[in-house]
Amino acid sequence: MQSPISMTTLTRRPGWVQEFQSFIMKGNVVDLAVGIIIGAAFTGVVGSLVKDLFTPLIGLLVGGIDFANIFITLKGPHLATLEAAKAAGAVTLNVGVFLNAVIQFLIVGLAVFWMVKAISRLSFARKEEPAAPALSTSETLLIEIRDLLAQKSI
């Protein structure tokens, strides 16, 4: 005769579910997830900084060039702006858009470098001196013998 199926048998989770849950709840994974979310927001801010502030200033310094409109037309009409060329169906190499992406990457890299440097300075400032390791019994006895010998010779 077969035994009836109990409720504990039906609600039993596979072993990998428990492993996955412990993996997800580890501090490193949670820290990584928070870092990715903050990094995405940080990239948006730096992207705006590059697009809306730095690129116009750099363009002004090099003679009023708008980097977004530096492109090479491969096929189709060559128009004054990238938007107009795309609207006309032209195939383009978008050199200026690539330059903007490189500038944005360099600024993000520099900002992350300075942020990590500042955080590491703060963490070094907070570190306490490690406690001296406890002496073993034999080391303690040797110190006592040394002190007794030093007292006898005086």
The pLDDT tens digits for 59-98 are: 788 887 777 888 999 998 888 888 899 899 999 999 988 9
Domain spans in the chain, listed from the N-terminal domain onward:
17-127
Structure tokens, 18: 């428990």
Q: What is the mean pLDDT of residues 101-126?
A: 80
Give the three-class secondary structure for 14.
coil
Q: What does pTM read for this prediction? A: 0.52
Domain 17-127 is in which class? mainly alpha
Distance of CA 33 to the CA centre of its chain: 10
> If phi over 0 gives left and psi between -120 and 50 gives alpha, with beta otherwise, what is residue 89?
left
pLDDT attached to residue 49: 81
pLDDT attached to residue 5: 56
For residue 35, pLDDT over 70 is answered with yes
